[in-house]
Amino acid sequence: MSSENGVTGEGAEGAPPEQLALIRESVRKAKVPRAKPRTWRGAALAKQLPVARVLVDKGVLHLDRYFDYAVPEELDADAQPGVRVRVRFGAGRGRVRDGRREGGGLIDGFLIERLAESDYSGPLAALAQVVSPERVLSEELLGLARAVADRYAGSLADVLQLAVPPRSARAEQRPSPAPLPPPGAPQAGSWGRYERGSAFLESLATGGAPRAVWNALPGPEWSEELARAVAATLSSGRGALVVVPDGRAVARVDAALTAVLGEGRHAVLTADAGPEKRYREWLAVRRGAVRAVVGTRAAMFAPVQDLGLVALWDDGDDSHSEPHAPQPHAREVLLLRAAQDKCAFLLGSWSCTVEAAQLVESGWAGPLVASREQVRAVAPLVRTVGDQDLARDEAARAARLPTLAWQAVREGLRHGPVLVQVPRRGYVPRMACGNCRAPARCRHCSGPLEGQESGAALKCGWCGREEPAWHCPECGGFRLRAQVVGARRTAEELGRAFPAVPVRTSGREHVLDTVPGAPALVVSTPGAEPVAEGGYAAALLLDGWAMLGRPDLRAGEDALRRWIAAAALVRGQGAGGTVVVVAEPTLRPVQALVRWDPVGHAVRELGERAELGFPPVSRMAAVSGTGEALAGFLSAVELPVEAEVLGPVPLPVTTGGGPRRVGAPPVGEQWERVLVRVPPGRGAALASALKAAQAARMAARGEGVVWVRVDPPDIG
DNA sequence: AGCACGCCGACT
DNA sequence: GTCGGCGTGCTC
């Protein structure tokens, strides 16, 4: 070890650390060249490993650089890897005031590791404070955070902000309960309904790391099935983590875990628990007192010790997408965790995303599915009402309520509650074929065509090219129509049509958890459907057009997922359960609903995405900023050679007032956006290029900010 | 981002 | 000579 860089503990006999700055001050006055490293001669430093490598928590500024600090002797014991520290961080060589050296202000950081010496050639400042001896940042969590930062071209500090909850001293003071010994292996329960279900549980219980995409049968059993997978993993002596989309799902899995495991074996991590309780639960997990976790998306980082299983429910739900930078998706984070910890992976849903299908198609995960007979036995009968039916149906055109729907509701109400799903308001209409309703796409890059004012040319939402002579590649038609919105009124009319029956509503403001099994009309927006005791007798899914006409790539998948989520609450067709969907029966998502084949739908969708160069087969990133800032960024970034830049296109100007959209430019500023697309396998190269350019831009003080978003959710 | 350092023109 | 303009670059 070199005494040149000082921090070797060699100078313990000299001046106290505060005087270091004075020493350096006099050195400077003596005009010794500054390049020569000076020593911390005289500082009372830790005798072993006197250097602390620290991640300074200061936004995007540093982009994953560590800074070395000297460890004063009195902090030696507490300054362990993983603790929160405070350090002085600021410009210049520091001023001297009252005999103390003062850099910038005190800022927070994490102690990453202790070293014998630093590779930094200047003098080291001392750690100012160890905030608490609790080692919150484990090596695994750091590795995961780093992988997530790389995947999303974000900074480590940003990811750690998502991964480590704010400290609460009171929560730290309390001792966590003593860990319980592993439970015995559970029964397979209803996992026997799936072809390889029992084998999957067996593998978990014997320490294996199976990976599966699980297409769950409709009905309420899924939460118990998840709980049994957790129990099997615990019985192997390992920990397990379950991430679900919302508080209602957490409550279901929580109850199932209590039923299967008993009290005290699992923690619940949700954002709405309040900071102290949340940190207390998190600490119990970190300390190894609790080995099983269920929670919403922030729990994806839960520091479960000796992780044996990560499980995710309903990855198509967009609440799995973290809104804070760098906006990681729970599915991708859990994929990274499964790879890093070599643990089992379970991705379950009633429906199926293209990403899930890709995991199976690529061979990374196996399918966990029930036989067609099983599906037919538990799924409701699905019927459709398309345009032709509506055209023939004069009464329906007036009331917008088709006869078939009317009959299904009336018949259903004789046997129990009937669910009516109405879409939420607020999606942008885009252009589709007026004849067959296929979305109108750009012939160059397959982006969505956006309608201008009537008469004006169509323009691509991705590359900005005009389309002067569009015709439909599906049916040859060349009439366009904007997709229409609006359905709440239909439900109100429905309520008036059945005056003897109570109408209950469940939506954003007021979400019902369950409804009794008595006849009632239950009007709900997607995602807010209450569970009915004994299942709904029937469900009516209104305005499929609105759902399918949504601008983004996932319109079909999303519509199917929402329909299936509602239909999964309906009794099986053997028990008379019926679903009526008002949508064209020739459309692919509608057919998939009728056949109850979400996996087949996702597989076909995946094939198409591969052909068109869409994610998740290729990877995309969106970069946005003012025209000037964007141009500057694009001229500086060294993209992988395969990368394709689409655009720029102007973004809609954010207007003041009303709810601010996440990811929208500052109010009143005209921003532009490009999409960058790379082929399979080049995602990491793309992310690293974008990150490097961002970092260089910060250092060079480039004009204006650009936002980088890997896996943009709204690509048309 | 702050903040100090440094290399140029007008002042006691 | 030296006080201080803001252009550059660093922060352990």
Band (pLDDT 50/70/90 cuts) for residue A367 is very high
Average pLDDT, stretch A14-28? Answer: 33
Q: In this structure, are residues A60 and A77 in contact, taking their beta carbons and an 8 Å threshold?
A: no
The DSSP result for A135-195, as a single string, is --S-HHHHHHHHHHHHHTT--HHHHHHHHSPPP-HHHHHSPPPPPPPPPPPPP-GGGGGBT
Rounded to an integer, what distance in angstroms lies between the CA atom of residue A200 and that of residue A368?
Answer: 8
Choice among A131-145, A425-439, A566-580, A627-641 with the minimum mean pLDDT: A425-439
Dist CA A308 CA A338 (whole Å): 9
CB A255, CB A242: distance < 8 Å:
no
Q: Which residues touch strand C (CB under 7 A)?
A: A 61, 66-70, 87-92, 94, 103-104, 118, 120, 122-125, 699
Which H or E run contains A418? strand A418-421
Q: Which pLDDT tens digit goes with each residue over A281-294?
A: 999 999 999 999 99
Q: Where does residue A674 rank: exposed (0-12), middle (13-18), buried (19+ CB within 10 A)?
A: buried
* pLDDT score for A566: 97
- Tell me the mean pLDDT in the region A490-501: 77
Task: Give the nucleotide nearest to A105 (CA→C1').
Answer: B2
CA at A702, C1' at C9: how many angstroms apart?
A: 14
pLDDT for the residue numbered A59: 63
What was the pLDDT predicted at A24? 34
Tell me the one-letter amino acid at A320.
Answer: H
pLDDT at A238 over 50: yes
**Strand B contact at CB of residue A61, distance < 7 A:** yes
* CB burial string A200-238: b at 16+ within 10 A, e below: bbbbbbeebbbbbbbbbbbbebbbbbbbbbbbbbbbbeb
Is the pLDDT confidence value at A339 over 90?
yes
* Residue A696 pLDDT class (50, 70, 90 cuts): confident
Q: What is the pLDDT of residue A387?
A: 67
Q: How sure is the predictor about A406, in pLDDT bands with cuts at 50, 70 and 90?
A: confident
pTM equals: 0.86
pLDDT over threshold 60, residue A15: no
Question: Which nucleotide has the shortest C1'-to-CA distance from A51?
Answer: C12
How far, in Å, CA of A430 to CA of A546, rounded? Answer: 10
Given a contact cutoff of 8 angstroms between Cβ atoms, the answer to whether A539 and A569 are in contact is yes
pLDDT score at A25: 34
- For A18-128, strand residue ranges (E) read 51-56, 66-70, 84-88, 95-97, 100-102, 106-115
- pLDDT of res. A438: 76
Q: What confidence category does residue A396 fall into, taking pLDDT thresholds of 50, 70 and 90?
A: low
Beta-bridge mates of residue A570: A536
Chain B bases closer than 7 A to any CB of the protein? 1-6
Does residue A321 register a pLDDT over 90? yes
Q: What is the pLDDT of residue A14?
A: 30
Measured to protein CB atoms, the chain C nucleotides within 7 Å are: 9-12
CA atoms within 13 A on the CB side of A288: 8
Residue A536 has a pLDDT of 98
For residue A181, give every residue at least 6 positions away whose Cβ sits within 8 Å of its Cβ, in sequence order, or none.
Answer: none
Residue pLDDT, tens place only, A96-139? 444 444 556 788 999 999 999 998 888 899 999 999 999 999 99
Distance B9 C1' – A92 CA (angstroms) = 26
What is the pLDDT, as a whole number, of residue A365?
98
By DSSP bridging, strand A449-450 and strand A619-626 are unpaired
Q: Quick one: which of A312, A356, A364, A352 has its CA closest to A333?
A: A312
Does residue A30 surpass a pLDDT of 60? no
Q: Which residues of A are annotated as a binding site for Zn(2+)?
A: 433, 436, 442, 445, 460, 463, 472, 475
How large is the average pLDDT for residues A357-368? 98
pLDDT tens string A240-295: 999 999 999 999 999 999 999 999 999 999 988 899 999 999 999 999 999 999 99
How do residues A559-597 score in pLDDT, each as one tens digit?
A: 999 999 999 999 999 999 999 998 889 999 999 999 999
Q: Does domain A619-655+662-710 have CATH number 3.30.70?
A: yes
Within 676-705 of chain A, which residues have Cβ less than 7 Å from strand B? 698, 701
The fraction of chain A above a pLDDT of 70, given in percent, is 81
Per-residue CA distances from A464 to A138, A528, A647 (Å): 47, 37, 6
* pLDDT higher at A441 or A144: A144
Distance A103 CA to C10 C1' (A): 12
Indicate if the pLDDT at residue A677 is higher than 90.
yes
Residue type, A145: A
* CATH 1.10.3080.10 for domain A189-375: no
User: What is the average pLDDT score of chain A?
Assistant: 85
Structure confidence at residue A605 as a pLDDT band (50, 70, 90): very high
Q: Residue A391 — very low, low, confident or very high, per pLDDT cuts 50/70/90?
A: low
pLDDT (0 to 100) of residue A285: 98
Domain range annotation of chain A: 33-135, 189-375, 379-607, 619-655+662-710
What's the pLDDT score for residue A42?
52
Residue A18: pLDDT band with limits 50, 70, 90: very low
pLDDT for A542: 80
Question: Comparing A15 with A648, which gets the higher pLDDT?
Answer: A648
